Amino acid sequence: MDDTVEVIEPRDLETMKFFVNIKVERHEIKNPVQDRIWDHYLNALKEQDPKYFKDAETGIYLEVIIDK
């Protein structure tokens, strides 16, 4: 999903209408120690996976800046 969102061009929007019913939320995540921010596009199942909200190396919980 992340790769798809990054490469979408305006001409592709007509095709994307077929995928309107897919429930995916954008989460802007910040690592407070490294001061690094990135986006995750997650469905309901992935939102339950802690790997998107916890740093694997340090074990610290990541800060959710935007949850929409």
pLDDT tens string 27-61:
999 998 888 898 998 988 899 999 999 998 888 99
| Segment 2-23, tens digit of pLDDT | 666 666 665 655 555 555 567 8
> How many C-beta atoms surround the C-beta of residue 62 within 10 A?
21
Q: For residue 15, what is the enclosing H or E element?
A: helix 13-16
pTM assigned to the model: 0.59
Break the chain into its structural domains and give their ranges: 2-67
